Amino acid sequence: MPFSHLLLALAIVAVWGTNFVVIKVSLEAFPPFLFAALRYIFALLPAVFFLPRPKISWGNLCFYGLATGVGQFGVMYFAVDGQISPGLASLVVQTQVFFTIGFAMLFARESLRLYQAVAVGVALIGLLIIALHTDSSTTFLGLGLVVFSGFSWGIANTVSRRAGAINMLAYVVWASLFSIPPLLMMAFLFEGGWESLNAAMASAPIGAWAGVLWQSWANTLFGYAAWGWLLSRHPAAVVAPAPLLVPIFGMGASAYFLSEPLPLWKIMAAGLVITGLMVNLFWPTIAHQLKQRFS
C-alpha cells in the first residue's frame, strides 16, 4: 500500500475513533434521538440529489437504514448519554464482528471455525471484565445497550452483504431515508415533543451543530467513500485490519479530551477484546503461512 493510501486509512480510522468524543460533546446540547435524526438528515441532504439510487430493493435499503440509524447509532447515542463512557463504547461496539460471524452462520450456513470460537471467548472475557467494573460512568445497562448496538451493526453488515457489489456511499445515503422517520418519532415521544426539540435546536451552540455535520459528512460520507475507495484498490486483507485501531483512537481521544481514566482493568479489557478481533482476522493468514513453511 502506498504511503499516501496508508495515511488515508489512518485518517479514516482517526475520524471513526475520535467520533465518540464528538458524540459525547454534542449530546450536551442535543437529546440522543434528535441528534441521531439530525445526523441522517444531513447525511441524506444534499447528497441524495447527486447520487443515483443503487440498484437494490427498497426493502434492503429500509432494513439497513433501520439497523444502522435506530439500532446502531440511535441506541448507542442513548447509551453514551450518561450510561457508558465514550472510550469504552468505541471498544464494546466492536462486538459487531462476532455478531456478523453469527449471522453468517445462521443465514449463509457458514461454519464456526475453532479459531473463531477462541476469538469470541477471548473477547467475551474482556467484556466480562468491563461488566465487573460498572459504576456511575459505565452502567450495566449502558454496556448492554452498546452490545445491542454491535448486534444491530452485525445485522446491517449482513444486509449490506446481500446487496452485493454496489456504490456503498450511495447505499448509505439512500438508506438514510428510512433512518430519519423512526428517529424523529422516538425523539418526539421520549424527548419532550416538538417544542422541546425546537428549543434544543434553537439553543444549540455552533460547536454542537459542527458535531452534527462531523457525524454526517466526516464520519458517514467521507468515511464510507474513502473506505470504499481503498477497498477497490487493495486486497481486503490489506485494508481490513485498520478498524482494529478504532478503539485505540476512541479510548485515547476520550482520555485526552474528556479526561476519561484509563485504569489497568480497562487496558486489560481493551487488550482482550482487540486480541479476539485480531485472532479472528489474522489467524487464517498465519495458519496458511505456517502450513506453507513446514509442508
70 DSSP 8-state letter: I
55 DSSP 8-state letter: S
The full DSSP string for 267-290 is HHHHHHHHHHHHHHHHHHHHHHHH
How many Cα atoms sit within 13 Å of 215 on the Cβ side?
A: 28
Rounded to whole angstroms, the Cα distance separating 255 from 261 reads: 6
Does 93 score more than 60 pLDDT?
yes
More confident residue, 158 or 200: 200
Return all residues near 128 (Cβ < 8 A) that are at least 6 apart.
none
- Burial environment of residue 238 by CB neighbours within 10 A (0 to 12, 13 to 18, 19 or more): middle
**What are the Cα distances from residue 261, in Å, to 21, 28, 252?**
14, 20, 10
Return all residues near 15 (Cβ < 8 A) that are at least 6 apart.
218, 219, 222, 223
Rounded to whole angstroms, the Cα distance separating 4 from 1 reads: 8
Q: Which of 90, 82, 11 is nearest to 253 (CA)?
A: 90
Return all residues near 87 (Cβ < 8 A) that are at least 6 apart.
20, 247, 250, 251, 252, 253, 254, 255, 258, 260, 262, 266
Q: Worst-scoring range by mean pLDDT, 24-28, 187-191, 291-295?
A: 291-295
Rounded to whole angstroms, the Cα distance separating 149 from 23 reads: 15
pLDDT over 70 percentage in the chain: 94
pLDDT tens digit sequence for 97-144: 778 778 877 776 767 778 878 887 888 888 888 888 877 778 989 999
Grid cell 513446514 is found at 294
Average pLDDT over residues 225-234: 72
216 DSSP 8-state letter: I
pLDDT tens digit sequence for 42-59: 999 999 999 999 999 999
pTM, entire model: 0.85
Whether residue 64 contacts residue 175, with contact meaning beta carbons closer than 8 Å, is answered with: yes
Rg (the chain; Cα; Å): 19
pLDDT of residue 235: 61
Q: Which of 283, 285, 287, 278 is nearest to 97 (CA)?
A: 278
